[in-house]
């Protein structure tokens, strides 16, 4: 249990790293867009190799398909709720959809990390690195937008600390429930994360990166994908 807690904390700490980077100095929109584009590429790789492919290997198509559907609907509905509460582009509500995406993605990702630890497979270095590579740009982009919109540094850091704690708890929960989490459930969890990420990428992250970066967005996205895809082959 302690091992799961420590590894979960290490993985989730990348969220606070990203928030802190955005808080220590102002970030120009073009730089935020570049970071978001890189993170989008890393997330596309994560969806393809660390989530969908692994889920299909464990459980077959049906659990993954169900998980993708549930994850996609979850982000869509949560994003609409964020829009009603604060608006995506108005004031401190800006940046919140990326935080929602990080939460809906982080919970199943880190639950899978905990399940792997409990099963005796050890820590997936590729998954751990993928979490870091994707979390930092999400947190930087979201935090920069919230700070520009008027949210306080303390409030932004507190928000990401809360998201990080939930993700750590998901690692511990995955470790604790590993005995009852068979391959079907594990595949469904992978699918849930993939579905939430895909909707977040198309609706929020890629358009935001393109609007801030311009013509560089596609090239930087490919760079992020290439690096993350290469790292995914380490295991």
| Residue 214 DSSP class | G
Question: What value does the mean pLDDT take over residues 41-64?
Answer: 88
> Which among 147, 127, 149 is positioned nearest to 139, based on CA atoms?
147
Could you tell me how many residues make up the chain?
Answer: 235
Task: Look up residue 40 and give its two tokens.
Answer: 């989008």
Q: pTM for this structure?
A: 0.81
Tens of pLDDT, residue by residue over 167-212, are 999 889 888 877 676 788 888 988 988 898 899 899 888 998 999 8
Predicted pLDDT at 221:
94
As a whole number of angstroms, the distance between CA 53 and CA 10 comes to 24
Tens of pLDDT, residue by residue over 76-97, are 998 888 777 654 454 445 677 8
Q: Is the pLDDT of residue 215 over 70?
A: yes
Task: Look up residue 13 and give its two tokens.
Answer: 């700490």
3-state DSSP call for residue 219? helix
Q: Is the pLDDT of residue 112 over 80?
A: no
- Boundaries of every domain in the chain: 2-20+45-232
As a whole number of angstroms, the distance between CA 34 and CA 122 comes to 34
Predicted pLDDT at 56:
92
Q: Helices in 46-152 by DSSP H: which ranges? A: 53-59, 61-85, 96-118, 125-148
């Amino acid at each position: 249990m302690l091992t799961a807690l420590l590894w979960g904390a290490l993985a989730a700490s990348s969220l606070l790293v990203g928030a802190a980077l955005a808080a220590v100095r102002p970030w120009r929109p073009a730089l935020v867009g570049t970071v978001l584009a890189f993170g989008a590429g890393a997330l596309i790789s994560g969806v393809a190799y660390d989530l969908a492919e692994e889920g299909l290997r464990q459980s077959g198509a049906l659990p993954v398909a169900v998980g993708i559907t549930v994850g996609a609907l979850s982000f869509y509905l949560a994003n609409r709720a964020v829009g009603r509460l604060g608006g995506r582009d108005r004031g401190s509500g800006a940046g919140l959809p990326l935080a929602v995406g990080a939460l809906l993605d982080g919970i199943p990702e880190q639950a899978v990390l905990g399940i792997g630890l409990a099963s005796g497979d050890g820590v997936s270095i590729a998954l751990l690195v993928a979490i870091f590579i994707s979390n930092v740009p999400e947190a930087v982009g979201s935090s920069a937008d919230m700070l520009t919109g008027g949210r306080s540094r303390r409030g932004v850091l507190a928000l990401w600390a809360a998201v990080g704690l939930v993700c750590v708890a998901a690692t511990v929960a995955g470790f604790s429930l590993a005995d009852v989490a068979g391959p079907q459930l594990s595949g469904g969890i992978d699918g849930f994360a993939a579905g939430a990420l895909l909707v977040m990428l198309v609706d929020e992250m890629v358009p935001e990166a393109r609007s801030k970066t311009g013509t560089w967005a596609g090239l930087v996205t490919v760079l992020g994908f290439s690096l993350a895809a290469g790292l995914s082959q380490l295991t």
